[in-house]
A and B are shown apart, each in its own frame.
Chain A
Amino acid sequence: MDDMKNWSQQQRSLLTFFWSFFVLGISVTSAAEDIPQPVQVVLQTYCTDCHSEDYAEGNLRLDGNNVDWSVPDSLVEWEKVLTMVSKRIMPPPEGTALTPQDRELLLSWLDQKLSQNSPVGGTPLRRLNRREYRNSIASLFDLEDFELPNSFPRDNIQHGFDNQGDALVISPSHFEAFAETAAVVAYAFFAPPRPIVPSRQYEVAAGDLTISYSSACYIDGAMRLASSGKNTRRHATWPSRFVAPQRGTYRVQVTASSTEGCEKTPILRIEAMRDFRDTLKEFHEFELGHSERSTVEFDIQLDRGESLFFRYPNGPLNYDDKNIYQKFLADLFQEDRQLAAAWAEVGTPARGGSGWQRVREVLESAEMSGEPLTIEDAEVEKVIQKMARNAVGSGETLVYRFFEQGPYVAIHHVSITGALNPQTDREDEQRERRRMKLMGEFDGQTDRQSLEAFFTSFLRKAFRRPVSPAEAQEFVEITLNEHARSGSLRNGLHLAVRMALISPSFLYRSIGTGELDDYELASRLSYFLTAGPPDEQLMKKAETHVLRQREVLLSEAERLIDRRFASDFPKQWLGLSAIESLMPDNRLIRNFTKQHRGAMMEEVTETFWWVLDNNLPVKDLIAPDFVFTSELVAKEIYQLDEFADVASKKSKKNESTLTRVTVPRLSNKGGLLCMPAVMMATANGVDTQPVLRGVWVLENILGSPPPDPPNAVPALTPDTRGANSPKERLAAHMQEASCASCHREIDPLGFVLENFDPVGRWRTSYPVYTETGGKVRTTNGLEVDASGTLPDGSPLSNVSDLKEWLIENPKPFTQCLSEKLLTYATGRSLSYRERTLVGEIIDQQEGEDVRLKTLLLELIDSPIFRTK
């Protein structure tokens, strides 16, 4: 009952709130405020030549004598004026230069007015983004492995983030995807019973077995297998036209043979598997050992959708494992030097059977000529090395020798009968279990009261707020109507659950206005820190109306802060998504693997988490005395001496764990400005682009993004012929006054990072590539000149100088990070007043340094976070 009362109160107060604004809206319509005379004079002196009724350059007019500050666009426009003037982009060089006094007059008036008049709060209705939607469904239905289909639409990015209210649109494709996903999820719990497929016999001729890559070969009416190895697609064969249509026992007859006189008696193995998943349930093995056909019979359990996979598990040729393969080749060539010689003569035979045919031709012609091929031991070793390096390629060719000469196993015919004792599909069993878990004690109850109780609790979780009895009642009606219509309660529940999942109350958050109520606050906190809905504990705090108390809010926040946040937030803040798709030039780095990529991204997460979890000073993100790195990255990217001897091929287990390595604080290693992930994401994989990196520093470190380039300016395409450095090339920016106004701030910051190549490795000169006869040689070209300047004019000679400046002047970075955190949290860019508030929060921090966790908690407790 309490809930109900609270709910209706809430609705009422929302309405009152809304109406008050509506009325207020009318009353302030003519509330334009005069611009003070001295400011008008300044505007007329410097601005109105271009920004008046006649020209309105950039669609902006500054020739009025009053401002209506209640119009949101006014705030946007005047803030732009403030930015352009404070960055000295306006007035333009050809205009009258502002005197320091006039500048001060204009800026302080703007600062005052914008602080007074810009709002706190204002996030629009926000739909769940892809991640949040996925996590919400997983949590609501307790489906940990739930995955959205690949085709599920991606979100638009705004302000660098995927969770911004304005950008999260619902297009028809989105809606269709939501509706389809809802149906799929509802199906996972409530589906009509499936009819049983009657038993029958399936005949599989040898030719109907699948050849995948070089996994099998059809010779003399049988399908031969000659390699062993785990990879199903490369080493197994399976019926191309049969999958079990029904769960149950199948009786299988396999007619097979093998090569005779093998060292190890060949084994034929038959596995029950779904698709190509290498998870195995049941298998049967048979020793063959003779060339006569024999037929074996066995029963095997198959689930619907599973099939039979045939393998030769003790086949001596296994090119999945390089070490085994290398040793195998050594033995093979010991025994058959002719083969090694023929292979060497062909060089690199083409992959597959035609490559083998070439090798065989060489062998045969040597035999015919009566002059055996010869080969030196050292050459044999080279052939082995080369084949092992490209194990899959050479293995797919070499396997044909074994298809032809053995040892192999050959499958002549397969006959499958079933399902002999049809059973409920595993999927259906699972569905029953899931449904029982979801419905709990209400499972199987069809009375109105039980359904009401179920929906009251289900919808509370789905909508992240208590629901009124009327709302729950509506879902009960739907269920019962559908039950009556179709005769199935499951159909009724199916429909109701689908409806809940496309309801605006599930899809949207940030509903309402003004200060967030307890439930909205719970959602904001939870989606901010975990990208998922509030858990039960948090919901309880909202229910008992204590969440808005500072201590409760902060202790809940502390509870929810975890690694996931450290992985989600920095990736978007720093714009690192490009790393997934960038493929660095292989002249720059050979064998760039997903282990490199993974470790680079992990370093960002680990660093952020270390600083956050230990509540270290924010400046440790800039100039820490450590890096987190994998051995691979430490060796190849950081080029740390202590890792120089690490073998390049380590087991995968070691590669994914990062170690914390100590580095000097102001060195060229450590911190966001020296991280390989950042340096890679701000280049293009081939060469560095100082402009991009300069913009990146302004945007993400200094929090002072340059304005968009004016429309009229074409993209600068520098003439790259001649051996000039990027710096010389970009000098063109400085000659064009309209470019220079912004680029004098951007470019010098980018140059400071020029010591980092496109994968983030330190360099002191640019590489020059010369190609002769298909081979590329890299030599040192021009020296890197990493000197630059800060926006305030302070000279920098390299990245260490920049780091030093940032820790001596910590405010801009701290402010920037705070604004990014709040943008990510609230789903909108901060208003002028909110940014001022952030500044005040930072200034109020006690102690010498601002610490990351403390800062984060203070931001969460701020009115910015607490307002819609």
Chain B
Amino acid sequence: MTTKSTPSLQRRHFLKAAGASLTLPLLESVPRSNQLVASEQNSGDELRVSSTAPAKNLVCVGSNLGLYRPAIYPEQTGRDYEMTPLLEELAAHRNDFTLFSGLDHRAGNGHKNWDNYLCGKNVGDMTLDQVVAEQVGRSTRFESIQLCAGDIPQQRMVYTRTGVPLPMINRPSVIYSKLFSTEDDRARSEYLLRSGRSSLDLVREEAKRLKQTVSQTDQTKLDEYFTSLRELELRMGRQLDHLASGTIEVDYELPPYDPVAPTLMLECEQIMFDLMALALQTNSTRVLTLFIAGLGQVFTLDGSTLRAGYHALSHHGNDPDLVRDLIRVEREHMKCLSRFISQLKEKTDQEGRPLLDSTIVMFGTGMGDSSRHSNRDLPTIIAGGGFRHGQHVSVDPSDEKSPLLGELYVTLLNQLGIETGTFSNASGEFREWTT
């Protein structure tokens, strides 16, 4: 009779065959669900990044209240569409952007689901920008930067691989000093970083000692600690390298106050766009997101004060006055975007090419119709990134077979050199556009 050990997983057989001492002590429990231990840093192995990709940078702008679709969608599709009130602001860049209508994630409705804008079907899945940041982020000082114009919202725009929502910065002075710190700030950040780093060195020693005393599985558990510590150390190292290389001189003057008052949201938005262009120009990061808030702000445009807050305008119920004012606000967003595109055309990367050629700029939203809180048919603009632009691409949002927004995301990822065939519930590129 042959002796077979049973039942057990193949993995165990292998361990037994490999050596005598790998049987685990009785008192330990073995982690069973590997997906819980998914960590953020080792995932890079799954995807490959091509170094010759046409695009290098990704900027995702998310408007909380979306865009009033009748004011942005042209009636015609293809290249010969007629300008609409919102697109007029982008007329100078007509051949440098594409407008998509009808795309969405086919996900549930409701306030909370704004957040799936960059996630795909499920809120909390790793967002598009973070997929990119994981692949290309380590080559710059900041893996990614999250900004917000207006009050910090309930909404979340960016989630990491482990579902951690990343916080946004809404004070221009904060992001400015992070990017281009002054002498004073430098001393302080340097102190924080240096002392932070030495505290890491010290706890590593302590953790090593602890590791000697714990059981095998607990040692594995403790490895998470070491890996994360190492990752943080690298992040701090990149910051310090930058500080050592001196302050980046930029010709940009911030206002002496932070435009965080509700009335000043549009001012803040414009500054944030400017700072994003500077961040790309100085190669500080390759991945940026900007959330455009939508609470009770009352704006003054061209000297006249609007007669209702932005949020009240969005619940227009088709009232023509409210719609008119809403479009005025949204035209301001488009002006900001247009100015941003212009800057990316003027500014050049290290090879002397216009930044726009290698930067994908997406302006989109998680809300298709904020008047009814509908998450269907999300208007989306893509500019730059080396694509062939100049069209209005339309799909039928009511057709279950229509392409998903996620397919567009796959196309963007591939353009950035990240070879993948899927994103969330979508598989394959968005061929209706690229071919």
Against B, the Cβ 8 Å flags (1 = close, 0 = not) of A143-175 are 000000111011010100000011101111111
A76 and B222 CA atoms in complex are apart in Å by 24
* In-complex Cβ contact of B202 among A59, A176, A213, A478 (8 A): A478
* In-complex Cβ contact of B222 among A61, A353, A504 (8 A): A504
* B41: Cβ under 8 A from any A Cβ: yes
* A32: Cβ under 8 A from any B Cβ: yes
A495 near B232: Cβ-Cβ < 8 Å: no
Residues of A within 8 A of B308 (CB): 214, 350-355, 396
* A62: Cβ under 8 A from any B Cβ: yes
Residues of A within 8 A of B217 (CB): 124
Residues of A within 8 A of B244 (CB): none
Given contacts A158-B33, A169-B36, A172-B228, are A499 and B221 in contact (CB under 8 A)? no
* In-complex Cβ contact of B213 among A18, A62, A503 (8 A): A18
Q: State which residues 25-42 of B face A: CB under 8 Å.
A: 25-33, 36-37, 39-41
Q: State which residues 1-28 of B face A: CB under 8 Å.
A: 1, 3-10, 12, 16, 20-28
A197 and B5 CA atoms in complex are apart in Å by 77
B26 near A21: Cβ-Cβ < 8 Å: yes
Closest-CB distance, B111 to chain A (whole angstroms): 8
Residues of B within 8 A of A243 (CB): 257
* A368: Cβ under 8 A from any B Cβ: no
Residues of A within 8 A of B312 (CB): 213, 350-352, 396
* In-complex Cβ contact of B162 among A171, A218, A513 (8 A): A171
Residues of B within 8 A of A512 (CB): 213-214
A612 and B259 CA atoms in complex are apart in Å by 53
A338 and B97 CA atoms in complex are apart in Å by 53
Interface size in chain B (residues, C-beta < 8 A): 93
Report the nearest A residue to B319, measured CB to CB: A350
Looking at A26, A125, A514, the one whose CB has the most chain B CB atoms below 10 A away is A125
* B91: Cβ under 8 A from any A Cβ: no
A26 and B20 CA atoms in complex are apart in Å by 6
Given contacts A167-B36, A172-B40, A499-B199, are A213 and B232 in contact (CB under 8 A)? no
A352 and B251 CA atoms in complex are apart in Å by 41
Closest-CB distance, A468 to chain B (whole angstroms): 11
Report the nearest B residue to A514, measured CB to CB: B27
Closest-CB distance, A583 to chain B (whole angstroms): 7
* A49: Cβ under 8 A from any B Cβ: no
Residues of B within 8 A of A64 (CB): 4-7
A213 near B298: Cβ-Cβ < 8 Å: yes
Given contacts A21-B27, A478-B202, are A173 and B221 in contact (CB under 8 A)? no
A28 and B24 CA atoms in complex are apart in Å by 10
Against A, the Cβ 8 Å flags (1 = close, 0 = not) of B185-198 are 00010011001101
* In-complex Cβ contact of B6 among A63, A153, A192 (8 A): A63
Closest-CB distance, A596 to chain B (whole angstroms): 18
B263 near A210: Cβ-Cβ < 8 Å: yes
Given contacts A63-B6, A124-B217, A172-B232, are A511 and B210 in contact (CB under 8 A)? yes
* B160: Cβ under 8 A from any A Cβ: yes
Report the nearest A residue to B298, measured CB to CB: A211
B307 near A353: Cβ-Cβ < 8 Å: yes
A149 and B165 CA atoms in complex are apart in Å by 12
Residues of B within 8 A of A74 (CB): 7-8
* B92: Cβ under 8 A from any A Cβ: no
Report the nearest A residue to B222, measured CB to CB: A125
Closest-CB distance, B38 to chain A (whole angstroms): 8
Against B, the Cβ 8 Å flags (1 = close, 0 = not) of A818-848 are 0000000000100100000000000000000
* In-complex Cβ contact of B5 among A32, A182, A183 (8 A): A32
A172 near B26: Cβ-Cβ < 8 Å: no
A175 near B232: Cβ-Cβ < 8 Å: yes
Against A, the Cβ 8 Å flags (1 = close, 0 = not) of B284-309 are 00000000000011101000011111
A166 near B206: Cβ-Cβ < 8 Å: no
* A548: Cβ under 8 A from any B Cβ: no
Residues of A within 8 A of B167 (CB): 149-151
B225 near A504: Cβ-Cβ < 8 Å: yes
* A711: Cβ under 8 A from any B Cβ: no
Residues of A within 8 A of B25 (CB): 21-22, 24-25, 513
A11 near B213: Cβ-Cβ < 8 Å: yes
* B364: Cβ under 8 A from any A Cβ: no
A505 near B210: Cβ-Cβ < 8 Å: yes
Given contacts A183-B192, A233-B296, A350-B319, are A495 and B213 in contact (CB under 8 A)? no
Given contacts A65-B4, A71-B12, A77-B7, are A218 and B39 in contact (CB under 8 A)? no
Given contacts A21-B215, A29-B20, A119-B27, are A175 and B8 in contact (CB under 8 A)? no
* A72: Cβ under 8 A from any B Cβ: yes
Report the nearest B residue to A180, measured CB to CB: B196
B214 near A67: Cβ-Cβ < 8 Å: no
Given contacts A67-B5, A498-B199, are A151 and B210 in contact (CB under 8 A)? no
Given contacts A166-B36, A210-B262, A478-B202, are A28 and B23 in contact (CB under 8 A)? yes
B12 near A73: Cβ-Cβ < 8 Å: yes
A827 and B188 CA atoms in complex are apart in Å by 41
Q: State which residues 166-207 of B face A: CB under 8 Å.
A: 166-167, 188, 191-192, 195-196, 198-200, 202-203, 206-207
* A15: Cβ under 8 A from any B Cβ: yes
Closest-CB distance, B210 to chain A (whole angstroms): 5
B36 near A358: Cβ-Cβ < 8 Å: no
* A457: Cβ under 8 A from any B Cβ: no
Closest-CB distance, B148 to chain A (whole angstroms): 12
B29 near A70: Cβ-Cβ < 8 Å: no
* B49: Cβ under 8 A from any A Cβ: no
* B255: Cβ under 8 A from any A Cβ: yes
A154-B164, A828-B29 known; 18 new pairs, CB 8 Å cut-off, are: A21-B26, A35-B6, A65-B1, A67-B6, A70-B23, A71-B24, A73-B8, A119-B27, A120-B27, A156-B36, A166-B32, A210-B263, A212-B296, A352-B308, A354-B308, A502-B200, A512-B214, A583-B110
Q: Which 5 A-B pairs have the closest CB atoms?
A: A64-B6, A353-B307, A352-B308, A240-B261, A151-B167
Cross-chain pairs A/B with CB under 8 angstroms, 11 sampled: A71-B24, A73-B8, A78-B7, A150-B167, A352-B313, A355-B308, A494-B195, A495-B195, A499-B203, A511-B218, A513-B215
